[in-house]
Structure formats: structure tokens, C-alpha cells
């Protein structure tokens, strides 16, 4: 089964459980369903950062023809890495009890979207090697034929960086309480 068939198959499957219950299984289903659009957004932001850096370093040089093209299926080589990131989130940060309280701006699904946008995307765009890795894995920059493995290794390093960032934030919070 190809990546495209997996994604298209997942889009046609109905969500597990009811619409009001967010379990690990339902979150996994939602994460997989949103994978393509999230990865296209990530790759687009990385491509824009790449173009900006290229224009900054070589203002008179035109953009190479084969670089910078991106479509929905170009990011599918990032899917295994995305699944690893989603799994890590569900195991380490998912809190099913958060949705028991009726606070519409602090639901678990909102936390997931903020995590992706504010932590993962920000971290990815902060470091040039992550931008480069996403662009190579999505085929925007031609490179290594082992793009899937390259993406998984990059996202694994990104997870380590996120863990470290979360630990530092928790430590700072703990230190602030002691003061």
C-alpha cells in the first residue's frame, strides 16, 4: 500500500467513539487525518524560509527551476516521521482529563494544535538544518534517495529538542515557585 492510499483510506474511515470524547485513539485518528495539511503547511513555511535565505544571500540570482515546487503528495515522505511525533505527543503530553472541564479555549485538541504551531513549527523554522531536512524529505530540494529515513532521523532529533525544551520550561516554572 502506498502513502497516498494510506492517507486516502484514513480520510474515508469514520472517527472512533463519539464526537464529544477525545481518547488517545480518536486523537491518533485526528492527527492522521490532519497529517497531509499540517505537513504541507510545515513544508511551505520551510520553503518560504529557504527562499528568503536564498534571496538574502544571492539577491540577483533567480530561484532554481526544480527547487521550491510543492504539492500535497510531496510531503508524504514525512508521514512516518509525523507519526512518530504524534505518537510521542500522545504518550507524553496528551491529557484526556482536560476535556472533562468545560473550558472551550483549553481543550486537548487546542493544546495539540498549539503544540504543532507554536512548538514544532517554531523549532523547525528556528534551525536551518531542520528547514533543510524538511525540504529534502518533501522533495523540494533534491538530495538523498533515503528521504524517509532522513525525515525520521530529523524528527527524532526534533523530539529530543522538544523534550529538552519542555524540561527546561518545567524547571523554570519550578524555580519561579520557589522564589
pLDDT tens-place string over residues 7-64? 445 544 555 555 566 788 888 999 999 998 899 899 889 888 888 888 888 777 766 5
Largest CA distance in the chain: 57
Domain segments of the chain as ranges: 18-178
Cα 141 off chain centre by: 19
Grid coordinates in use for 81?
516521521
Q: What is the pTM of this model?
A: 0.74
- Residue 62 and residue 171: Cα distance in Å, rounded? 47
- Per DSSP, helices labelled H in 59-146 are 79-92, 108-114, 122-126, 128-137
**φ/ψ of residue 41, rounded to 5:** -65, -45
Half-sphere exposure of 133 (CA within 13 A, CB side): 21
Amino acid at each position: 500500500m502506498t502513502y497516498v492510499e494510506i492517507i486516502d483510506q484514513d480520510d474515508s474511515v469514520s472517527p472512533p467513539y463519539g464526537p464529544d470524547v477525545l481518547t488517545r485513539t480518536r486523537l491518533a485518528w485526528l492527527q492522521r487525518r490532519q497529517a497531509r495539511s499540517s505537513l504541507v503547511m510545515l513544508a511551505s513555511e520551510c520553503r518560504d524560509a529557504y527562499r528568503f535565505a536564498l534571496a538574502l544571500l544571492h539577491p540577483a540570482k533567480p530561484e532554481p527551476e526544480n527547487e521550491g515546487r510543492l504539492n500535497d503528495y510531496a510531503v508524504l515522505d514525512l508521514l512516518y516521521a509525523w507519526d512518530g511525533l504524534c505518537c510521542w505527543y500522545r504518550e507524553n503530553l496528551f491529557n484526556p482529563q482536560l476535556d472533562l472541564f468545560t473550558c472551550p479555549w483549553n481543550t486537548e485538541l487546542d493544546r495539540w494544535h498549539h503544540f504543532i504551531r507554536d512548538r514544532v513549527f517554531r523549532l523547525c523554522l528556528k534551525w536551518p538544518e531542520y528547514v533543510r531536512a524538511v525540504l529534502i524529505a518533501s522533495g523540494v530540494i533534491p538530495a538523498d534517495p533515503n528521504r524517509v529515513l532522513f525525515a525520521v532521523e530529523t524528527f527524532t532529533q526534533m523530539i529530543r529538542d522538544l523534550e529538552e525544551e519542555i524540561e527546561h520550561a518545567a524547571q523554570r516554572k519550578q524555580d519561579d515557585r520557589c522564589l
